[in-house]
Amino acid sequence: MKLPILIINMKVYPEVLGKKALELAKVAESVARDLGVSIAVAPPITELRTVVEGVEIPVYAQGADPVEPGARTGHIPLEFIKETGAVGVILNHSENRLLLNDLGWLVGRARGLGLETLVCAPDPFTSAAVAALEPTAVAVEPPELIGTGKAVSRERPDVIVRTVELVRGVNPSIPVITGAGIEGFDDVKKAIELGTQGILVASAIVKARDWRQKITELANALR
Ligand code: G3P
């Protein structure tokens, strides 16, 4: 993971249905190239391979299930993500929570497969707990701010500061990323000033009328 990073979580918003996920990824790739900023995307799982094959920026799966390949139905084992060429996986997002045992199993197995793990947590103490699993990065996102346009860096700077402090205490080599309600340039700037090394953004970009303009605005704050 090249830091500082802007990670665009497309979720499953109707705006990225079908081929639109690749369109958004291509815009992100072009901005990353123009500005020389590290940008990654997490498309809907059904578009994962299409996006991986269509762009050169890093692509993450939005989640995985704690199962081995085999007689399962409707699950997403890590091995199937790895095979698409995705560089990693977001785990334990507030909208797709995992039991701690399962999270530990997934992080360890992903490491063995050479997949990066971006593990989400809702608060500083949980962030410290998941840092002990040694993921590639921890992303702190207060769930009540997700999708609200009220940026974590403005509304809850204390959460960011405390998370950075606690995660550093567990393992100083694990970067902290943040997200929830990030809307504009100043929100990103502030998040970085507070000690994070990247941001995770969904609605402000996916729902923007002009994807290029919004991605450029947020990416510029990382320069
Ligand atoms: O994964 C990022 C996400 O949960 C933040 O969502 O819409 O507040 O940027 P949003």
Mutate to test the pocket of ligand 1, among 200, 207, 215 (most ligand atoms within 8 A of CB): 200
Q: Is the bond preceding residue 58 a cis peptide, omega within 30 degrees?
A: no
142 lines ligand 1 (CB under 6 A): no
- Torsional sign, CA 111, 130, 86, 222: negative
Tens-place pLDDT, residues 36-68: 999 999 999 999 999 999 999 999 999 999 999
Q: What is the mean pLDDT of residues 2-28?
A: 98
Give the structural domain span for 132: 5-222
* Model confidence band, residue 195 (pLDDT cutoffs 50, 70, 90): very high
Task: Report how far ligand 1's centroid is from the alpha carbon of 82 (Å).
Answer: 24
Tens-place pLDDT, residues 172-194: 999 999 999 999 999 999 999 99
Tens-place pLDDT, residues 84-143: 999 999 999 999 999 999 999 999 999 999 999 999 999 999 999 999 999 999 999 999
Domain at 33, CATH number? 3.20.20.70
Q: In what order do the strands lie in the sheet with 5-9?
A: 38-42, 5-9, 198-201, 176-179, 137-140, 116-121, 88-91, 60-61
pLDDT confidence of residue 31 = 98
Number of domains in the chain: 1
